[in-house]
Structure 1
Amino acid sequence: MKLDVKPLVTVGETPGSFRRIGIVPSGTFTGERLSGKVLDGGADWQDVRSDGSTTLDVRLTLETDDGAYLTMAYRGVRHGQKDVMERLARGETVDPSEYYFRTLVTFEAPVGKYGWLNGIVAVATGHRFPDGPVYSVFEVR
């Protein structure tokens, strides 16, 4: 899955953390059992912790190639050495092996062809590129 993300909205310091929000206007996903596009309206609520790590809380609406609507939600964490995270924050291309980026994914789907998604948990590895993140999503069996 590849997401397009608008420039981050910086809320700033809050009582809990430093808050940023990434608005997701579009994206695509392809896989063995489903493919399609990410619809406008998703968001990535990020907390930048005092240790420099970032937690993510994301909700997306997906439309499959055959017209089904699904929801996808995931929480995760991204962290690495301070200089690596600073390079990412500046929008530089950083090799994904230089930082940790993992999420826990759940779905909601209508009964029928994609109903199997309601009964799974998935994990994803993420890679942050200047134009948005790319995820490889795997069902946990």
Structure 2
Amino acid sequence: MESFELNKFKIEHLFTYSIDVNADMFIQKLPTGGTRVTGTIAGGKVWGPKIQGKILPVGADWSTVYPNGIVDVDCRTMIETGDGAHINMFYKGRIDLGSEEAAADYANGKFPAVMGTQPMPVLDTDDECYDWCNHYACFGIGRVDFTNDPIVIQYDVYRYYATPFAEN
């Protein structure tokens, strides 16, 4: 078998954000066998080298919990930057709760104290100063802290890209 050199890539930290999610979740059993756990966004903050501002109190996280312990995350919200731009942010992600028992607990509103999560944020805006958001592929590394009310979800968001195609 022929071997190939791995593609080169770079990773750049863009920003960190912390979202407050109302602890009063909506829980619905789905006809597909999963459970929808929805938490509405109460606000938050954004800081970092590329974006500073706040998370507006709009949107929600519509997670689907499956009996095998997998949670598919589907979140939508909006960032308002310190200079007044609005950036839509939506992301999907996956959480592995580790067991069927943990999935049953989660689906019934019994959450772990803290858990890790890996989102894939997509950003878009019509503000010319932040047009770069429309071109970036991102990933996040984060954690959910259920010990607070509101619940605190915090992510570090990174841009990743192949080189030498995009150096800036």
What TM bracket, shorter-length normalisation?
Answer: 0.7 to 0.9
Superposition deviation, residue 103 in structure 1: 1.2
C-alpha separation in 1, matches of 2:127 and 2:41: 26
- 1:24 aligned partner, one-letter code: I
Give 4+ residue runs of structure 1 displaced > 6 Å after superposition: none
Aligned to 1:113: 129
Superposition deviation, residue 92 in structure 1: 4.8
Q: TM-score, normalised by structure 2?
A: 0.73
The answer to whether 1:125 aligns with 2:145 is no
Alignment check: 8 A CA contact 2:53 2:80 kept: yes
What is the aligned counterpart of 2:82 among 52, 62, 65?
65
C-alpha separation in 1, matches of 2:30 and 2:48: 38
The answer to whether 1:137 aligns with 2:146 is no
- After superposition, give the CA deviation of every residue in 1:75-104 in whole Å (9 maximum; x if it has no partner): 0011132377759x645533x5xx5x2111
C-alpha separation in 1, matches of 2:62 and 2:121: 15
Superposition deviation, residue 21 in structure 1: 0.6
Q: 3-state DSSP class of the match of 1:25? A: strand
Alignment check: 8 A CA contact 2:71 2:97 kept: no
The answer to whether 1:104 aligns with 2:120 is yes
C-alpha separation in 1, matches of 2:37 and 2:98: 20
The answer to whether 1:34 aligns with 2:35 is no
The answer to whether 1:77 aligns with 2:94 is yes
5+ residue gaps, structure 2, are 1-16, 162-168
5+ residue gaps, structure 1, are none
C-alpha separation in 1, matches of 2:18 and 2:46: 6
C-alpha separation in 1, matches of 2:65 and 2:111: 16
Q: What value does the CA root-mean-square deviation take over the aligned residues?
A: 1.9
Q: TM-score, normalised by structure 1?
A: 0.86
Alignment check: 8 A CA contact 1:91 1:129 kept: no
- After superposition, give the CA deviation of every residue in 1:87-123 in whole Å (9 maximum; x if it has no partner): 9x645533x5xx5x21111111124110000001100
C-alpha separation in 1, matches of 2:126 and 2:152: 28
Superposition deviation, residue 40 in structure 1: 1.1
C-alpha separation in 2, matches of 1:30 and 1:20: 28
